[in-house]
A and B are shown apart, each in its own frame.
Chain A
């Protein structure tokens, strides 16, 4: 605990204090009659307008981890790390239509989670349970990663102790977060998101205009990066894509875009909005964050030309590449502004962590607790259960970081992206057609999960230090179908999640043909066509916070 940067720490603590007060006040902000209902606690009353939704969903999708990890990836590998920009550009055109359908059908039937919808659409408890479990497993490590982002900032400020003491600031920050989320529900991150996003915008805009001019302009920054990559032995890096990673770049961007709104927390943000028009306007306005993310990503190159060295994490003994951006800010900015920047990233971790834990709590309560443990739970009991679950989820994430290596969470999150993609046929394609049979979706899910997992297991890390779960880029050479290798000898890489999804769809289609030929029941559909177009003010809509 030496070399604490006091100016930065004090500014960080002040801003953290402000959002804590906001978090507790949020319970009374636009409050409904009761907080003892999931519509209120878990979805903020389903009445957020365009601005609140913009800040909330922006704060939810563009997380602190993204803000430290994407530049770190560019710093280490170059052009490949820039996939985050195409990912967040194609995202909105892709999800624009399905998300509107999901909002309408959920509003008509009072669905809170994607698994609620699947159960209504297919009348299948098994399928709904699989979707719920997949969502929970994929979200948990994502919450833990927000802590990685927060910790990168804390360690840069000098709170870089070893052992349990080193994690103490993180623990305190998270206890505070857990308590006000428990009390205020989704309203807390919605209100805090205003502060977080405004800070982030200021910091990044200053950074991308001030730093390049200080360091000799983009031309010299890119040539410095070029020189660095030329020296390293790794073949895949450089300021342009190589012959082998272009397919990986495109499929990773596409796969990530398809996966994002399958994550329960993204859907939570969307379902909390008031009307279809709120969502439509946000699909137009949210790319402002993508622009920001792209600019931020380039700070990875700025860090190269500023000769930034990552800080060694005293808890693991390894250099932590996620500290690149905090260190860059600390070196180049006056300490008061670095303090603001650190607060922006730190608070940036709290917003998504809160929304994710709420989404996970909703899943647990609606699709496991109410479905299997307490069938006649009242809305108040549901809300109580969800509040408790949000606490458990957050402390699980803290324990993950403190007791197990943070690398474990990073690996899990990598797997999370691949597995959440396997719910695409059940959650997204089903918005358009019930052609896929419900048991075929179960089979396809199982096939995609298994295959994705097997492929991830077989991928060594780029630097050769680990033999398994080293990344999501699969060399086509390694692609094997029961021993048959269609692309033997090819060094071209592709995103594992994308391959697994294709396998999932093929299996689901084959099984659908078989089950349809045999006339196996495809369950009862609660929804009708017009449900998918219902809008605010429609008499069909289910009243909020009643049962």
Chain B
């Protein structure tokens, strides 16, 4: 419980692997996918390319999951050591 948002903090953590989550958004760029050929199994490119993006999406999320799984998580204290924590370390 804290009175000011500045003290409360948001617990933001940066991890470059998370950027992979942006890759699947590429399928929203419709000019790239909105074409008829080449066909695959008789389906226009528009359809099978979006099915292929299911695999891209799974791969990206899967890699992020594996790469961030072992992230050390401090669960008992706030992330950044405050002066009090450092004092405790001396004791």
Contacts and interface: CB of A to CB of B under 8 A. Distances in A.
A534 to B, nearest CB: 6
Q: Find the residue from B60, B62, B69, B75 having the highest chain A CB count within 10 A.
A: B75
Contact of B54 (A220, A222, A290, A532): A290
A79 B46 contact: yes
A240 B44 contact: yes
A525 B61 contact: no
Interface string A518-529: 000010111111
B75 A249 contact: no
Interface in A233-270: 239-241, 246-247, 249-250, 253-254
A448 B12 CA distance: 28
Contact of B8 (A85, A525, A540): A525
Contact of B58 (A220, A284, A524, A539): A284
A281 B11 CA distance: 23
Interface stretch (A30-38, A88-96, A338-346): A88-96
Nearest to A524: B3
B28 A530 contact: no
A473 B49 CA distance: 24
Contacts of B36: 239-240
B47 A82 contact: yes
Nearest to A220: B42
Given A93-B60, A240-B36, A284-B65, A530 B54 contact: no
A434 interface: yes
A376 interface: no
Q: Find the residue from A90, A291, A531 having the highest chain B CB count within 10 A.
A: A90
B79 A525 contact: no
Interface in A198-248: 212, 217-222, 239-241, 246-247
A283 B61 contact: yes
A298 B51 CA distance: 11
Given A218-B43, A434-B5, A526-B1, A283 B53 contact: no
Given A90-B57, A291-B54, A432-B10, A539 B5 contact: no
Contacts of A531: 11
A533 interface: yes
Interface string A351-362: 000000000000
B61 A530 contact: no
B76 A222 contact: no
A246 B30 contact: yes
Contact of A96 (B27, B31, B53, B61): B61
B26 to A, nearest CB: 9
Nearest to B8: A525
A197 interface: no
B11 A94 contact: no
Contacts, number: 149
A290 B52 CA distance: 12
A532 B24 CA distance: 25
B9 interface: yes
Contacts of A247: 30
Interface residues of A, number: 57
A280 interface: yes
Contacts of A222: 42-44
Given A93-B21, A281-B65, A529 B50 contact: no
Contact of A89 (B3, B24, B74, B76): B24
Given A82-B47, A89-B50, A281-B65, A287 B57 contact: yes
Contacts of B8: 434, 525, 527-529
Contacts of A284: 58, 61-62, 65
B21 A97 contact: yes
A433 interface: yes
Nearest to A531: B11
Contacts of A96: 21, 61, 64
A529 B30 contact: no
A529 B79 contact: yes
A90 to B, nearest CB: 5
Contact of A221 (B22, B42, B54, B75): B42
Contacts of A93: 21-25, 57, 60-61
Contact of B42 (A85, A218, A249): A218
A79 B53 CA distance: 16
Contacts of B76: 538-540
Nearest to A248: B30
A5 to B, nearest CB: 32
A110 to B, nearest CB: 15
29 contacts: A85-B50, A86-B28, A86-B50, A90-B28, A93-B22, A93-B24, A93-B57, A94-B25, A97-B21, A101-B11, A212-B42, A240-B44, A253-B28, A284-B58, A290-B54, A298-B47, A522-B5, A524-B1, A524-B2, A525-B2, A528-B8, A528-B11, A529-B11, A530-B75, A530-B79, A532-B11, A534-B75, A538-B75, A540-B75
The 7 closest A-B pairs by CB, nearest first: A529-B11, A218-B42, A219-B42, A529-B9, A93-B21, A246-B30, A250-B28
Given A283-B65, A528-B9, 4 more contacts: A86-B27, A241-B30, A290-B54, A533-B75
Interface of A: 79, 82, 85-86, 89-90, 92-94, 96-97, 101, 212, 217-222, 239-241, 246-247, 249-250, 253-254, 277, 280-281, 283-284, 287, 290-291, 294, 298, 432-434, 522, 524-535, 538-540
